[in-house]
Structure 1
Amino acid sequence: MKKCKGLPLAIVTIGGFLAKQPKTPIEWKKLNSHISAEFEMNQGLGNIKNVLKKSYDGLPYHLKPCFLYLSIFPEDHIIKRDRLVRRWIAEGYSTEVPGKSLTEIADSHFMELIDRSMILPNKRTYFSRKKIDSCQVHDLMREISISKAAEENLIFRLEEGCSSNRNGRVRHLSISANWKGDQGDFENTVDVSRIRSLTVFGKWRPFFISDKMTFLRVLDLQDTKDLCNHHLEHIEKFLHLRYLSLKGCRGIYRLPDSVGNMRHLQTLDLRFTRITMLPNTIIKLKQLQYLCIGGLRNDHAYFLGRFPSKCAALCIPRATWMELDMEASHGRCAKFWNLARPFYAISSISVPRGAGNMKALHTLGTVDIGRSGNSLKEIEKITGLRKLEVVGINKKNCHGFFSTLKVLSRLESLTVFPHCGDDLCGLLDDVPSPPNNLRSLTLRGNLVKLPAWITTIQNLVKLCLEYTKLLDSDGIMQMLGNLPHLAILGLWIYTFDVEGLRLHFLPEAFPSLVALYLSSKQGCTNGDEIASRKNVKSVEFSKGAVPKLEMLEFSDYSDEIINVGLFSGLTSLPNLKKFQLIGSSEGNEALVEDLRAQLSQNPNRPVLMMKW
């Protein structure tokens, strides 16, 4: 059933085949483990494969390589849409047409494969402006993509039990996590002289990169383990490289200066690495479109590892560092705080002088505009930016930041937060004219009150607030409820600083809201008693409120037992499909039963999901 994944033809065909087999676990496990071989040997199962092959044969020419490309990824792998689209662009699978960008074309390819049921949409995430932000490949369709890709010498998957590929020069090499061979096995198994993409899953081996890979366009090392700086020392040899992802490689904390020689690079994904500074040569990458860094926060362990020699200089014993809250230690030891602060804050980069010449950039973040006075001047020159994430806004640079926003007329997504220990209070009140095309806004940091200009962004689709500690909860909910196109609302941890917080969704409020995220933890952290008093006390939905709401997620970060009547009005939400409860189950059994009772009375029969 897992392999069928709801595909009716597969269920009927495999079910009919199993009905004629001995009813023993051995026979059924045999089919499950060796379904590819059974497809070839059994005429009954061969029929389904022939039908599915016709689905592939019927694809337009431009979609066939896009579909076969999916066999690079492991079985049941959740493939992020942005990752796939940017890789397709780097491979040349997207051809620009008048009035549409390469990204828009590649996005249309993705949706067309979804519409043709060649790939399965993954709908686990509602908190994205894109209705479908990831996909999976049906096991049966994946078997076809692997078979066809092998026939055309398009993709070679280096995995346990694979045979050598000496019949042709493969174009795409995918190294599975279960492959345990050595360098000799690697060189005897695959010819890398013509490969255009290398994707590694699992552990890194230095011999995976070779000087013979002169045609390499895509180097995807996302989440690869044991990758270190020196493994990238000669990366400049890949002059044709267009896509480089080091996302999740925590052993990487710098890039070599030679990265500036890769003049064709379009995507550089450095999120969840330890890189905080880019080489000045980065400004030579005139075709770079996507440059992202950030994601690491509160990295105590790395701080310990990088500065062991500083222990004697600190008044706090080394053994207690891991037990301390770094922000709380600010008042106790300024020396400790000054050393630790870069590793506590979300990692970011300074904009190199001359970055304004990188006119192709449309995604940039996380950028620290507080480190250098020239950062905003450089960003202002990149007028094609569509997505920007900045940290370090303060009293000195806030007006310069407003001027920059005025110039970035194409901006669609903006994330703003201050340096750790600072706040945004009063800094964002005087934005003269937010970008007209802004569709996504995330604010992190103490605001006290919500800037009035947010209500003027009529095209706003997504809004996320975190650590904002807003005081007027009723007024803010009424203000946000009038935004006509707001579809995604995240009221994250410490959004409000209101004792006995009660959120009331009024009739006709939030007419377009589809996904709502709430956190129990509100108020401040100055003692357990105060924090307890300022947790959410009730969430009420009046009849007629949030008529399009499909997903409601509630995270409980408090230590107290949640009251049974926390939510009311769930029965009146006509389109609710899913209620997700995240937190501790201990003592909250009564709440769960209350939620189940309410959801059972909702005509739409929403699903209650729990993650404890």
Structure 2
Amino acid sequence: VESRELFFKRIFATEHGCPPHLEEVSNEILKKCGGLPLAILSIASSLANKPDIKEQWEMVKKSIGFALEGTPTLEGMNKILLFSYYDLPTHLKACLLYLSIFPEDQVIESDKLVWRWMSEGLIVGEMGKNLEQAGQIYFNELINRSMIEPVGVRYDGKVLACRVHDMVLDMIISLSAQENFVTILHGHEDKFAGEKIRRLSLRCNRPDVEVTQVTSKKFAQARSISLFGYKEMLDLQGFQALRVLDLGKNVLFKQVKNIGKCYQLKYLDLSDTDIVELPEEIGNVQSLETLDLRNCRRLTLPSTISGLRKLVRLLVDYTAALPEEISGLVALQVLSCASYNSVKFMQALGQLTELRSLAFKCWNPDWYFDAGMYKEVSVASLRELGKHKLQYLDICDDDAIPDALMCSSSESDCPFPHLQKLVLSNHNIQRIPRWIGSLVNLCHLE
């Protein structure tokens, strides 16, 4: 009974929604799933994307054979999962195989995954959608087909992260190896056969195993390098094909050399590392679109980052020291979580008219000799951003931004007509601004 409920609810949204002409074939398919929830969900998710035509359902039944009928076996379960994989559209196959990069039980942020897919050209633009929106559709499709498990849901229904079931992960690791899609090394080179590596996933979680040195001689043609548990200094001399470099959560990692030679690099993740300074040559990486430096405490960013004219996402820690002049970041859409009390910085911020998401902290500038000018410029810059594309605004404010911004006198004076999310922390708001009623797109107010 529970198997039928799980099966039919996934396909028809209700246990009793199955058309009479599909009852018999449905029961036969259920029997072949052996009562295993993962098998039932995998097959049901495939059928949910097919028309209610008996002949097509019969083809599915024949394709899975006698996989789990009688006594469920690992081989039978793999056959069910393989059917679900081969039933995917081509673009989703590649995106699913990409997940073999990540270790078992890893929680994978949806945004970061989509950005990586984009950087490697795995997303095809859809009519009326940009690549990031199309990537989010891909992500949701993999969830709907039960190939990945959702983790966490945002206020607007967006799934924040995913996890891959152990059996699905085993399958895609095997398929990735067969197709030379991803190469996995476990801290040493005993499995490295010397073939051309496209994507490297290096796991270094055992302290008793000597870590493989990532050198250009071995991995120069890699498009993607993801390091887990890596403690060495990384020299990127010769890695000219690299599009994605992920060193995130390697807490003891401190230095990256020759990053300026990676001319095709689009995605760089140094979040949660011990790095304290980015080299000035980062300004040479003109293809860079995503720079993730979250939770890098007391990090100093060089002035050369203002020359990254294709940078779309800059994610930093509140303690990071950003350069004052950032107006050169003309493509920037996401800035989080900046902090500054410089008039020059706030003036430059107002020129980033592509910004869609802004989170920043205003330190109280009472000690600052030109506090009045700072407040005036801050308000003017935020209003300028609001007139353009700003959709998400998060201000952690020690009353540096005056009430004039939050308490405009009329609804027609709404500074943020496109806003969907507004978060105000540590701000003493005396009354609700009248223009709040004009925020027709607002989904979240905190």
The C-alpha deviation readout for 1:349-375, integer Å capped at 9, x for no partner, is 44532x32322110013233422x122
Identical pairs, percent = 30
Give the 3-state SS of the residue equivalent to 1:135 in structure 2: strand
For 2:266 and 2:334, the matched residues in 1 are separated by 15
For 2:396 and 2:83, the matched residues in 1 are separated by 51
Q: How far apart are 1:179 and its partner, in Å? A: 4.5
On the 8 A contact 1:293/1:349 being kept in 2, the answer is no
The C-alpha deviation readout for 1:237-292, integer Å capped at 9, x for no partner, is 2221111111111x222111000011110100111102454211112211100001
CA, structure 1 residues 450+351, in 2 after alignment: closer, same or farther (shift >3 Å)? farther
Which structure 2 residues correspond to residues 208-287 of structure 1 after superposition, within 5 A?
209-228=235-254, 231-249=255-273, 251-287=274-310
On the 8 A contact 1:410/1:437 being kept in 2, the answer is yes
Q: 1:440 aligns with which of 421, 425, 437?
A: 421
CA, structure 1 residues 407+217, in 2 after alignment: closer, same or farther (shift >3 Å)? same
For 2:431 and 2:230, the matched residues in 1 are separated by 46
Give the 3-state SS of the residue equivalent to 2:197 in structure 1: coil
Q: 1:290 aligns with which of 297, 313, 324?
A: 313
Quote the residue 2:396 is aligned against.
417
Quote the residue 1:426 is aligned against.
403
Give the 3-state SS of the residue equivalent to 1:271 in structure 2: coil
Write the letter of the residue equivalent to 2:183: F
On the 8 A contact 2:314/2:334 being kept in 1, the answer is yes
For 2:277 and 2:187, the matched residues in 1 are separated by 33
On the 8 A contact 2:154/2:160 being kept in 1, the answer is no
Aligned residues: CA RMSD: 3.1
CA, structure 1 residues 161+200, in 2 after alignment: closer, same or farther (shift >3 Å)? closer
On the 8 A contact 1:283/1:352 being kept in 2, the answer is no
Write the letter of the residue equivalent to 1:387: S
Quote the residue 1:459 is aligned against.
441
The C-alpha deviation readout for 1:490-548, integer Å capped at 9, x for no partner, is xxxxxxxxxxxxxxxxxxxxxxxxxxxxxxxxxxxxxxxxxxxxxxxxxxxxxxxxxxx
For 1:461 and 1:72, the matched residues in 2 are separated by 34
The answer to whether 1:100 aligns with 2:82 is no
Q: How far apart are 1:167 and its partner, in Å? A: 5.4
Quote the residue 1:70 is aligned against.
99
CA, structure 1 residues 43+98, in 2 after alignment: closer, same or farther (shift >3 Å)? closer
The answer to whether 1:192 aligns with 2:219 is yes
CA, structure 1 residues 186+278, in 2 after alignment: closer, same or farther (shift >3 Å)? closer
Write the letter of the residue equivalent to 1:352: E
Q: How far apart are 1:140 and its partner, in Å? A: 1.3
For 2:324 and 2:306, the matched residues in 1 are separated by 7
Q: 1:83 aligns with which of 112, 122, 129?
A: 112
On the 8 A contact 1:423/1:445 being kept in 2, the answer is no
Which structure 2 residues correspond to residues 488-527 of structure 1 after superposition, within 5 A?
none
Write the letter of the residue equivalent to 1:52: L
Q: 2:330 aligns with which of 348, 351, 359?
A: 359
For 1:385 and 1:100, the matched residues in 2 are separated by 18
Write the letter of the residue equivalent to 2:382: L
For 2:141 and 2:242, the matched residues in 1 are separated by 28
Quote the residue 1:368 is aligned against.
339
For 1:397 and 1:268, the matched residues in 2 are separated by 28
CA, structure 1 residues 176+15, in 2 after alignment: closer, same or farther (shift >3 Å)? closer
For 1:205 and 1:121, the matched residues in 2 are separated by 33
Write the letter of the residue equivalent to 1:133: L
CA, structure 1 residues 80+52, in 2 after alignment: closer, same or farther (shift >3 Å)? same
The answer to whether 1:50 aligns with 2:27 is no
Which structure 2 residues correspond to residues 539-578 of structure 1 after superposition, within 5 A?
none
Quote the residue 2:182 is aligned against.
155
Q: How far apart are 1:139 and its partner, in Å? A: 1.3
For 1:45 and 1:97, the matched residues in 2 are separated by 38
Q: How far apart are 1:397 and its partner, in Å? A: 3.3
The C-alpha deviation readout for 1:183-202, integer Å capped at 9, x for no partner, is 5x5579x9312211111122
Write the letter of the residue equivalent to 2:305: I
CA, structure 1 residues 390+236, in 2 after alignment: closer, same or farther (shift >3 Å)? same
On the 8 A contact 1:273/1:293 being kept in 2, the answer is yes
Q: How far apart are 1:122 and its partner, in Å? A: 1.2
Quote the residue 2:210 is aligned against.
182
Quote the residue 1:59 is aligned against.
88
CA, structure 1 residues 398+92, in 2 after alignment: closer, same or farther (shift >3 Å)? same
On the 8 A contact 1:417/1:424 being kept in 2, the answer is no
On the 8 A contact 1:221/1:247 being kept in 2, the answer is yes
Quote the residue 2:358 is aligned against.
388
Q: 2:379 aligns with which of 402, 421, 426?
A: 402
CA, structure 1 residues 52+360, in 2 after alignment: closer, same or farther (shift >3 Å)? same
Give the 3-state SS of the residue equivalent to 1:133 in structure 2: strand
Q: How far apart are 1:70 and its partner, in Å? A: 0.4
Q: What is the TM-score normalised by the length of structure 1?
A: 0.56
Q: How far apart are 1:169 and its partner, in Å? A: 1.2
Tell me whether 131-140 or 233-242 shows the greater mean CA deviation: 233-242
Q: Which has the higher contact order (CA 8 A, sep 6+)?
A: 2
Q: How far apart are 1:429 and its partner, in Å? A: 3.5
How many residue pairs get aligned? The number is 372
Give the 3-state SS of the residue equivalent to 2:424 in structure 1: strand
The C-alpha deviation readout for 1:387-422, integer Å capped at 9, x for no partner, is 012222765334433333333221111011235xx5
For 2:228 and 2:136, the matched residues in 1 are separated by 25
Q: How far apart are 1:60 and its partner, in Å? A: 1.1
Q: How far apart are 1:44 and its partner, in Å? A: 3.6
For 2:34 and 2:231, the matched residues in 1 are separated by 39
On the 8 A contact 1:398/1:428 being kept in 2, the answer is no
On the 8 A contact 2:346/2:381 being kept in 1, the answer is yes
CA, structure 1 residues 112+416, in 2 after alignment: closer, same or farther (shift >3 Å)? same
CA, structure 1 residues 127+103, in 2 after alignment: closer, same or farther (shift >3 Å)? closer
Structure whose CA Rg is larger: 1
For 1:136 and 1:205, the matched residues in 2 are separated by 28
Q: How far apart are 1:436 and its partner, in Å? A: 1.6
Give the 3-state SS of the residue equivalent to 1:356 in structure 2: coil
Q: What is the TM-score normalised by the length of structure 2?
A: 0.75
The C-alpha deviation readout for 1:274-329, integer Å capped at 9, x for no partner, is 245421111221110000111xxxxxxxxxxxxxxxxxxxxxxxxxxxxxxxxxxx
For 2:281 and 2:380, the matched residues in 1 are separated by 34
Q: How far apart are 1:380 and its partner, in Å? A: 2.1
Write the letter of the residue equivalent to 1:182: E
For 1:158 and 1:247, the matched residues in 2 are separated by 22
